[in-house]
Amino acid sequence: MKNFTLSVLLLFATLNISFAQEKEKRQEVGINFTSLNNFGITYKTGTAKNLWRFNILALNFNNNKGEIINQQQFIGEHYSVGAGISVGKEFRKIITKNLEFRYGFDVAFNYGWYKNINKDNNNYFENERTTYSPSLVGVIGANYIFSENLAFGVELLPNFNYTTGNNRIVNGNVENKGDISAFGFNLNSNIARLSLSYRF
């Protein structure tokens, strides 16, 4: 038993030494975006081939109001807020000196709030919606390496998500409330997340 325990400890020590020699620690910070009002911050830590991903993403805020039509007072107001976080794992393979292929997965959670109001002298309509969406996200992408410290990335994010929340509609003096519950799978190749990262 003593010899077995010693052998196991020696094996773990050997693996640990070779693991430590193989791995060169790396950290990255960056910004990512899919449009001008949909962006986030990313932090990655690990090695050149294997990193943990932490994202604060999809930060957006919209506020639009006010309009006059045909000398009647018409007011339209639109508000929306969105935010999300994700944690995951990313693996990389070198294709050429300046190009890396990357793949992995994220576990994500998104929050969204939307409110729309339309009213004039005779009518009033209001719609308010709050959603919570946990999801499992695949990561497929590539990095173009400008220098030792700077990289530009693009990634597609196919995901399976569940959305829950509530919806409220006011039409005149009538108010209706309801719950939201939906599953979805999204594989939209037209929308890619772009990123600019600093490595250290």
What tokens does 179 get? 């719950």
Phi-psi domain of 66 (left: phi exceeds 0; alpha: psi -120 through 50; beta: other):
left
- Listed in order, strand segments (DSSP E) in the chain are 26-35, 38-46, 50-69, 72-96, 99-119, 124-145, 150-156, 159-171, 174-186, 193-199
Q: What is the arithmetic mean of pLDDT over 57-67?
A: 70
The pLDDT tens digits of the residues spanning 142-159 come to: 999 999 899 999 999 999
pLDDT digits (tens, 9 = 90+) for 14-53: 444 444 444 679 999 999 988 766 789 999 999 999 999 9
Domain ranges of the chain: 25-199
pLDDT, position 102: 96
What is residue 131's predicted lDDT score, i.e. its pLDDT? 96
Would you tell me which CATH number, out of the four given (2.40.160, 3.40.50, 2.60.120, 3.30.70), belongs to the domain 25-199? 2.40.160
| pTM reported for the whole predicted model | 0.76
